[in-house]
Chains A and B, each alone.
Chain A
Amino acid sequence: MAGKKITITVKIWRQVGPETEGRFEEHRLEEIDPDMSFLEMLDVLNEKLTLAGRQPVAFDHDCREGICGMCGAVVDGIAHGPEEETTLCQLHMRHFRDGETICIEPFRARGFPLVRDLVVDRSAFDRIIQAGGYVSVNTGSARDGNTIPVAQNVAEQAMDAAACIGCGACVAACPNGAAMLFVSGKISQFALLPQGRPERGRRALAMVRAMDAEGFGNCGNERECEKVCPKGLSIRNIARLNREYLRAALMGDE
């Protein structure tokens, strides 16, 4: 059964392009179904804007089921909004009160240059991944699943790190605009598994070098990143990144 419809005011960031000045725009939205997702609410706003002959708000989205990492905005100061371990598309309007004003801003970081409105360019993440290079997986016919033994707890940790969808909320939430949680997830998922071991040193050096070159900040262990991560990545991964890099710098052959 649908709940009572709510009326909200959105204070949303509008910016035509990277070089132009941005500003906030206020819109009153009536009859918002509490079962709508946050992005569906933005769809309603955009329909309203389109019918009025105005430019709709640009925002990134794809799967709308919390697994692709495309969506994301800062809602009332929190990346992906107030619900823990939830992407913006999985945030529902029932978490907002009738008559509430909601402030919606793009992810702001030097590593994520703004494209338009709420859309930011997160291709820096792709370049960091590319810098990570390959893993050694034998090709040929399908091999027996248990040829390379991986302990259950290690597999679980690797899977937890691999849960990162690369949405960039960690960067958006970091007071220093650092990308440590993202990079640490990618480093961890390979460093934990035998298939990723041969290149672990080279990978750690290359990915950190790429991360620094993209203009992300330095980690201050503020722990804001793990609080907003929609996949619940722990800063324990950052500790592993710190170990991997130290190990590679001190004892690597690269």
Chain B
Amino acid sequence: MSWFIETCTSSLGKKYIMAVTGLLLGGFLLVHAAGNSSIFWGRNAFISYAVHLHSLGVLVNIFEVMLLAVFLVHVSTGLVLFLENRNTRPSRYQVERSAGGRTWGSRTMPYTGLVILAFLLLHLANFHFTDHDLPIADIVTPILSNPFYTLLYGIGMAALALHTSHGFWSLFQSLGINHPRYDRAIRFLAWLGCALIIGVFTCILLLMLLAGGSLQP
């Protein structure tokens, strides 16, 4: 086991952990966005999707626990990296300038990560740890038709967009997948995945805001 611990605690091991958990979380986001897009087909379609999903019973709970574990590993490893990297330059540069490598996404990774964490706590409080006597559409509609929540969720989406704009490409590089033959393809797919997820969620936010509390059946 010592090799396993040494690998996981090494600088490269932490990159692998971030990459693999990031990939899994990205996969979850895609599925989550795909499922939620049923709301575009109306209230009944959305409720039907939720009912079907929850008819999986204990599988949903198992999946939730696994997702929580992956998420906690991603957040805790990310925090360790953030704290470690803060101490690697004892004195700051007088002139701080980028030579052109960094992007908005890459330079804000830890901060957007924390914003996403805060957003998720709000999101779970809104829709998960709540009274589930009503159908899900009737829980979601009053909250998301409130412009204040549109703003909060919009901030969450902006953070997610920045985070994934770097993360989706970066995770492949961390796993050693970078080759001139397909680097452009990976960059394009990473961008597409980011755009797709953010696009769907933003459209849902706008739909709920414009629908003003009453979804078409």
Chain A residues engaging chain B, CB cutoff 8 angstroms: 11, 13, 22, 24, 74, 76-79, 103, 105, 108-111, 173, 175-178, 180, 208-209, 211-212, 215-228, 235-236, 238-246, 249
Contact = CB atoms under 8 A, between A and B. Distances in A.
A79 B93 CA distance: 11
Interface in B166-187: 166, 169-170, 173-180
Main secondary structure on A side of the interface with B: mixed
Nearest to B14: A218
B16 A246 contact: yes
Nearest to B92: A108
Contacts of A236: 178-180
Q: Interface centre among B13, B89, B175, by most A CB within 10 Å? A: B89
Given A108-B91, A220-B106, A239-B177, 16 more contacts: A11-B94, A77-B95, A103-B94, A177-B85, A178-B11, A209-B10, A217-B11, A219-B15, A219-B174, A220-B81, A220-B109, A227-B100, A239-B178, A242-B175, A242-B176, A249-B3
Q: Interface centre among A78, A105, A219, by most B CB within 10 Å? A: A219
B113 to A, nearest CB: 12
A221 B175 CA distance: 11
Interface string B64-93: 000000000000000001001101111111
B199 to A, nearest CB: 24
A226 to B, nearest CB: 7
B102 A224 contact: yes
Interface string B100-116: 11100011010000000
A235 B178 contact: yes
A127 B178 CA distance: 28
Given A110-B90, A249-B3, A218 B173 contact: no
Nearest to A173: B99
B162 to A, nearest CB: 14
A227 B97 CA distance: 12
Contacts of B178: 235-236, 238-239
B131 interface: no
Contacts of B95: 74, 76-77, 103, 105
A39 to B, nearest CB: 20
A224 B98 contact: yes
Contacts of B106: 220-223
A241 B102 contact: no
